[in-house]
Amino acid sequence: MLALFTLVGIVSLQTQGLAQDSAESTLPTLEAAGLSLEELADGIYGLIASTDFPPQDPMVAICNGGIIIGNDGVVVVDPFHNKALGNLLLQTAATLTDQPVRYVINTHYHFDHTGGNPAASAQNLPILGRGPIREFMLTRNSETDPQVTPPEVIINGAWEVWLGDRQVQVREFDGHSGGTDLIVYIPDADVLMLGDLLFNQRIPYVGDGHIRTWQATLQELKVAYPTATLLPGHGPVTSEQGIETLLGFLNDLEALALGWQANGVTAEEAKATPIPDVYKDFLFQGLFPIALETAYQQITLGQDDATAMQAYLQAQSVQP
Ligand SMILES: [Zn+2]
């Protein structure tokens, strides 16, 4: 676990203070928050974040949010990283429909998707998350977010809700966040909200994930939702091509790691690997060294559980 903290800590250091609500009384505009509202299908919207990471201003959203409107209620997805941005998501939903929000879903526990939960709890809206999300948020996110507000409704397995005549399905998949990843699917519109199982045109955050599980998940998603409109956790709306590109990135990472293994490359040398040209235009370039380090641990060394990672990091004298 300590080793996971170390990797999370790298990101946490870059984001100190972002989760704190520095402008609680002020609702930013979508534009000021770096968000654009995009209709994915009739009554289904994405709030698409365009910032690089880390953002220059705590009022700029890092991840994408979702709004699903039925004829009897609304579900919103991922209320960003602080209360003001969470309020912005709820307020945006209110500008689109008179229907009330019934549920707020966290696609996983990472702070940029859950730090806005206090906006939901202030309105007594139930917040849903998966598996160990409470434990993870209360131990890990609380380091940087004094207002950490974990979901109080825990999904273990499949979950569905009807918003009048529109069904919303929640399903569990793994690979990005150590057992809290879920996806949100709207069958009538063939729209899939993937959380951080999909980064599009961004270097993915791999440091809390499991590369080979993630590869398998992406293959499954391609088969299960071949024609869906995809809302990634980060980056523009896409289709199956977006899954292919992330899978290609993870496959490239795996190939690098196997090459290091075959050639006896040290961790230090591996971590200095330059980013391949094909990914040079992606945002979140600062996350690439974390991807290299994770690939070295999980694939080159074959140490893909937390205990083994801890032993590795201690051996490398990497301090948490
Ligand atoms: Zn994430």
Please write the tens of the pLDDT for every residue from 35-80.
Answer: 999 999 999 999 999 999 999 999 999 999 999 999 999 999 999 9
Give the per-residue pLDDT at 318.
36
pLDDT (tens digit per residue) in 115-131? 999 999 999 999 999 99
pLDDT above 70 covers a percentage of the chain that reads 87
Instruction: Note whether residue 127 is domain-resident.
Output: yes
Whether the bond into 118 is cis, omega within 30 of 0: no
Q: What spacing in Å lies between the alpha carbon of 19 and ligand 1's midpoint?
A: 14
Instruction: Note whether residue 81 is domain-resident.
Output: yes
Q: What spacing in Å lies between the alpha carbon of 262 and ligand 1's midpoint?
A: 31
Lowest pLDDT segment from 13-17, 34-38, 123-127, 295-299: 13-17
Q: How many Cα atoms sit within 13 Å of 150 on the Cβ side? A: 19
Q: Are strands 229-231 and 127-130 parallel, antiparallel or unpaired?
A: unpaired
Give the per-residue pLDDT at 4.
36
Q: What spacing in Å lies between the alpha carbon of 79 and ligand 1's midpoint?
A: 13
Q: How does residue 272 score in pLDDT terms, banded at 50, 70 and 90?
A: very high
Instruction: Note whether residue 197 is domain-resident.
Output: yes
Residue 307 confidence (pLDDT) above 70: no
Q: Which residues form the domain of 40?
A: 18-240
Instruction: Note whether residue 25 is domain-resident.
Output: yes
Instruction: Note whether residue 203 is domain-resident.
Output: yes
pTM of the predicted model as reported, rounded to 2 decimal places: 0.89
| Number of neighbours of residue 56 by Cβ within 10 angstroms | 9
Q: Which of 157, 237, 155 is nearest to 189 (CA)?
A: 237
Give the per-residue pLDDT at 19.
52
Q: What spacing in Å lies between the alpha carbon of 166 and ligand 1's midpoint?
A: 27
Instruction: Note whether residue 269 is domain-resident.
Output: no
Could you give the number of structural domains in the chain? 1
Instruction: Note whether residue 95 is domain-resident.
Output: yes
Q: How many residues does this entry show for the chain? A: 320
CATH number of the domain bearing residue 221:
3.60.15.10
Give the per-residue pLDDT at 72.
98
pLDDT (tens digit per residue) in 141-151? 998 888 999 99
Give the per-residue pLDDT at 18.
57
Instruction: Note whether residue 96 is domain-resident.
Output: yes
Q: What spacing in Å lies between the alpha carbon of 98 and ligand 1's midpoint?
A: 31
